[in-house]
Amino acid sequence: MTAAGDLVGGRYRLERPIGSGGMATVWRAIDGETGAAVAVKLMHPRVQDDPDLHARFRREADVVARLDHPCIVRLLDRGSVEDEQPFIVFELVEGVSLKALIRQRGPLAPAEAASIASQVARGLELAHRSGIVHRDIKSHNVLVTDAGVAKLTDFGIARLLDGMQDGLTRTGTVLGTSDYLAPEQARGLGVDGRTDVYALGVVLYEALTGELPFPADSPMAVALRQVRDPMPDPCDVRPGVPPYLAAIVLRACEKDPDARFRSALDMADALMDVPSGGTAALPVIPAEVAAADADTGRLGLAVPDADATGVISASPVPLDGATAPRSVARAPRRRWPLAIGAVLVLGALGAVGFVISGRGTDSPVPGSAQSPVPGVPGGMPGAATALPLASVTDADPGGEGREMPGEVPLSYDGNADTSWRTEKYATADFGGLKDGVGLSLGLAAPAVATRLDLISDGPGGRFEVLAGEPGPDARVVGSGAFEGGAQSVPLTDGDPSSTYTLWITELPPNAKGDGYRAYVSEIGLEGTA
């Protein structure tokens, strides 16, 4: 019998159990070499003689070893104790499971639920690109840290799409949890990344409503409802759910996999696209997650297409320049701190919390010329006023239609240490692939912008300021070069516009590595209504 104080692998001293399942117990432990607290997953002796379960337990370590993402619990070590009892060592996540969070608090705030689901989708994107389908996405397997990072865990029944799964699933066995089971999974058909998208849609439904969509008296009855019954609309269960989030749930949980989001990345982006006409707060993505999203998912790779069997290939394929249509429209992001006089920040208590802190006497007031960007001096009093923004969206009309959308909120979070970035290009002219990329700023009401304020990281390159979205109808009202700090760009007068775009026509040298890349830490407009 394993007990507190036991030494596992000659290195990890067990402290207390922090979780248990049918196959293993997870212990909080101390690494004797580093002194760090870790999580040790130790297989139960009573099941280690089962060759299928034994192989599945060991395979979990093989799966997680492939993945390096802040939204996936990190593998640290693995081995066996003297009696051949296997163990796996993971990073210790200080936080709670999403299931526990929902049980404690009931339905989550829409922005909080969207943030958590978007982060899980980002981790899933990497898994799917690595040829791995999780197959057991559920709120129990999502841990939310004190810093607001959502981490996916328990890859024990993940399917590897490169042959490593052979022989590990008994004939006629359906693996997964019925409350989150995709129809094709319940029917024993082929699975791919869209199977996980379905389950994540159920998790989002649960987070938004506080309940599961298909209650029944038995797991079999639940599975039958997953196959047969239409997904209920979250708005019918909880009227306060924003319609755009309800639409994401319904699309993710389509019975036909072809009708769902094509990839977890598409779902992650949709969750951050808050319609400008809505009232929902904008979800916040922790900076470390946004950075990982940029580095692991968007540079020259696409989610593989399903083959004739409905299973995606294990090898990533090059982008062909095309992108699948999205039935959930790309909507502009909704929130701007100065427009509502509040800032969302990551909270504690094991979840993404929202702390509203007014800007007090520092807030722009009508008739003043205070800059909407911290660190950028305002002009003469009475000359202009900060223009409230209703949305900020990425613009890439000449490319695949998006330019780091997951990082857009970092361009107006009030923190100059975080940035929206362009993708990294080999040359300053975008490799000759496009004319430019940028950020479109939607105003709460049409106005004449007289100045654009921004903070950037790294000098060089060129940009224009357009009245309107990029296209033949846009007017050039200003231009300049990135100064690698706080700067203001005067704009020419003209007719009022509801949208202004920072249009980058030449990239500066990448301030944090090789290639060419622009960084926009903060951005805002001044003008007259």
Q: Which residues pair with 87 in a beta bridge?
A: 42, 79
In this structure, the strands spanning 497-506 and 459-467 are: antiparallel
Token pair recorded at residue 14: 């067990």
- Cα separation, 252 vs 306, whole angstroms: 17
Between helix 110-129 and helix 287-297 the angle, nearest 10°, is 30
Token pair recorded at residue 336: 């701007």
- Cα separation, 528 vs 519, whole angstroms: 27
Nearest CA among 517, 523, 496 for reference residue 441: 523
- Cα separation, 482 vs 270, whole angstroms: 30
One DSSP character per residue, 210-275 reads SS-S---SSHHHHHHHHHHSPPPPHHHH-TTS-HHHHHHHHHHT-SSGGGS-SSHHHHHHHHH---
- Cα separation, 137 vs 198, whole angstroms: 9
Between helix 110-129 and helix 264-272 the angle, nearest 10°, is 160
- Cα separation, 433 vs 400, whole angstroms: 11
One DSSP character per residue, 40-65 reads EEEE-GGGTT-HHHHHHHHHHHHHHH
Active-site residue set: 136
Phi, psi values for residue 361, rounded to 5°? -70, -10
Please give the angle made by the CA atoms of 457, 373 and 299, to the nearest 5 degrees.
40
8 Å CB contact between 287 and 407: no
Token pair recorded at residue 346: 């990551």
How many residues are given for the chain? Answer: 529
Task: Tell me the three state secondary structure of residue 148.
Answer: coil
8 Å CB contact between 271 and 282: no
8 Å CB contact between 273 and 326: no
- Cα separation, 140 vs 153, whole angstroms: 9
Greatest Cα pair distance, the chain, in angstroms, is 79
8 Å CB contact between 98 and 207: yes
Q: Which residues pair with 211 in a beta bridge?
A: none
One DSSP character per residue, 452-475 reads EEEEESSEEEEEEEEESSSSTTPE
